[in-house]
Amino acid sequence: MSNATQLIHSIPVDPLTGAISVPIYQTSTFVQEAPGVNKGYDYARTGNPTRAALESIVAKLENGSTGIAFGSGLAAIDAIVKLLESGDEIVAVDDIYGGAFRLFTQVYKKFGITVHYVDATDAANVFNAITPKTKLIWIETPTNPTLKIADIEAIAKIAKANRCLLCVDNTFASPALQQPLTLGADIVVHSGTKYLGGHSDLVAGLVITKDAELGAKVKFLQNACGAILGPFDSWLLIRGIETLHLRIRQHGASAQAVAEYLEKHPAVDKVFYPGLPSHPNHDIAKKQSKGFGGIVSFTLKNDTEQAATAFVTSTELFHLAESLGGIKSLLCHPAQMTHKTIPVAQRRAAGVSDSLIRLSVGLEETEDIIADLEKTFAKLQSAQHNTKKETITI
């Protein structure tokens, strides 16, 4: 049976009423027959049936034992860092999501947790950064926004040999394309806000663990610290996940066409997309994923923030916004938006140059998406021609 069929039939029919859609249990507490005698739920921070249905669906989707749903992707990341103790070290991918970088440096540094950032496209860099204090390896693959690819299986072997946990942020690929736990990782995290939700209408986070004991530790931390996902958003996330495979297929087909179009455009310098044979780790992406996802980044020959700003404010279909993975195409300028908390030199060293633009290719028709990019390039070129002003050249 295909993954998509299994997913659809892992969403339970309500045993009490036969409702085909998972009911929203909008309640804070559950009546008990006697102290401690209940129907499996006592207080809704600890557990809620709608959230439990979501958690069980995502655990199956990622081939894990335990799913835990949080109020945001960052809350999910935060719960994993809380597994560590003062003095522990993390080895993390260098172009990590900006919010995770901010959490590590501006919150956890003062609690004595040190992070070493490496280019994880070469597994040897991860190996070389490990010290006796390293307890956690943190990768995203593809990364945000330069779409770098790390070899999950190779890094999982390094993690095991050095008794570290390997956590993979699988937000960009989604389990429809890539299952890191099957490739040897211990933990997967998601910003459910993105492809899993899929409609830009909620903020959510997920942790999925391979091992039930580790899952119980994360569940304990969630209950102790309180960052749960509410019942309505849990339901909304289930509803988004129902169409995950179909959406991801279309996002990927259009993104591939967009990447190929951009690669030929004279105003474009570099295109970052793992589906292009020119991508340095295209073969690894092919080996570990069923497809290459819906995010494409590119830089302009005129590598300035001004040129990028002119581009991102001139599109018609692509809306300028943070976030990604929804049905409507979005674009953003990481240097001024998602990655502005990363020091400039470090950002540039990680490949996020001043003109880099990230596209989240939506579910509009492929030719309309490309036509919007084509019109934008043409508009900016003609404005440059008419005014001859440096400020709007691309």
Binding site for ligand PLP (CB under 6 A): 72-74, 97, 99, 140, 144, 169, 171, 191, 193, 203, 205
DSSP-assigned states of every residue in 328-342: S-EEE-TTTTTTTTS
The residues, any chain, with a CB within 8 Å of residue 302's CB and separated by 6 or more, are 267, 355, 393, 394
Angle, CA 212 vertex, CA 41 and CA 204 arms, to 5°: 65
The minimum distance between CB 191 and ligand PLP, in angstroms, equals 3
For 136, the 3-state DSSP assignment is strand
Catalytic, 135? Answer: no
C-beta of 142: minimal distance to ligand PLP in Å? 9
Beta carbon nearer to ligand PLP, 73 or 215: 73
Please, are residues 200 and 360 in contact by the beta-carbon 8 Å criterion?
no
Asked if 347 is an active-site residue, the reply is: no
d(CA 142, CA 146): 8
Decide whether 77 or 307 has the Cβ nearer to ligand PLP: 77
Of the listed 25, 41, 42, 45, which one is catalytic?
45
To the query of whether residue 97 is one of the catalytic residues in this protein, the response is yes
Torsion angle of alpha carbons 291, 294, 295, 298, nearest 10°?
90
Distances (CA, A) of 265 to 260, 271, 315: 9, 10, 16
Residue placing its CB nearer to ligand PLP in the complex, 89 or 169: 169
Select which of 194, 210, 219, 347 is catalytic.
194
Q: Of residues 51, 97, 273, 358, which has the active-site annotation?
A: 97
Q: How far is the CB of 85 from ligand PLP (least distance, A)?
A: 23
Contact criterion met (CB below 8 Å) for 271 and 139? no
**CB nearer ligand PLP, residue 169 or residue 372:** 169
Distance of closest approach, residue 98 Cβ to ligand PLP, in angstroms: 8
Active site residue 186: no
Minimum Å gap between C-beta 46 and ligand PLP is: 22
Rounded to whole angstroms, the Cα distance separating 248 from 363 reads 9
Q: In the complex, what is the shortest distance from the CB of residue 197 to ligand PLP, in angstroms, rounded to a whole number?
A: 9
CA atoms within 13 A on the CB side of 333: 19
Joined together, the tokens standing for residue 308 give 């990028």
Backbone phi and psi for residue 256, each to the nearest 5 degrees, phi listed first: -60, -45
User: Nearer Cβ to ligand PLP, position 49 or 291?
Assistant: 291
Cβ neighbors of 296 (< 8 A, separation 6 or more) are 147, 255, 258, 259, 262, 271, 272, 273, 358, 359, 361
* Shortest Cβ 120–ligand PLP spacing (Å): 14
End-to-end CA distance of the chain: 49
Do residues 299 and 270 make contact, with C-beta atoms less than 8 angstroms apart?
Answer: yes
Residues 6+ apart with CB under 8 A from 265: 377
Min separation Cβ 97 and ligand PLP, Å: 4
Q: Which of 78, 94, 169, 186 is catalytic?
A: 169
How far apart, in whole angstroms, are the C-alpha atoms of residue 285 and residue 142?
A: 8
Q: Report which residue's Cβ sits closest to ligand PLP.
A: 73
Give catalytic residue positions. 45, 97, 169, 194
